[in-house]
A = this chain, B = another copy of it.
């Protein structure tokens, strides 16, 4: 049986490639948007021969986050968003549409370490708010 690219990625990260996980990872890796768990459930549930439960979506997302296959994004309250772009990057939120865009790390100057001795910074995230010119 042909082992898909997605399956290889999951196995490489030590995650068993079940159909549910493959479908969800595949969806995330082929979208630019930063969908919520609900949007992911909506988009993938019809791609499986069996019912896909909400619990499985959350189980899968948490498993993929722990395995480093995807990232969580907290740009706004209400719901966690998920991101298959696992590079260390930032986000731009279009306040009109709510759309979230990736901002590569190297477009933002290095901030580090003017905070003083008291703070040992592991990482930092920048969230930009504004409008996309169409």
A positions within 8 Å CB-CB of B: 72, 74-77, 80, 92, 95, 101, 103, 107-109, 111, 114-133
Taking a contact as CB atoms under 8 Å apart, the answer to whether B115 and A107 are in contact is yes
Taking a contact as CB atoms under 8 Å apart, the answer to whether A119 and B130 are in contact is yes
Q: With A77-B74, A107-B115 in contact, do A127 and B130 touch (Cβ < 8 Å)?
A: no
Residue of B nearest to A125 (CB): B127
CA distance A128 to B127 in the complex (A): 11
Query: Quick one: which of B95, B107, B115, B129 contacts A103, CB cutoff 8 A?
Result: B115
Return chain B residues, CB-CB under 8 Å to A77: 72, 74, 77, 80
CA distance A95 to B132 in the complex (A): 33
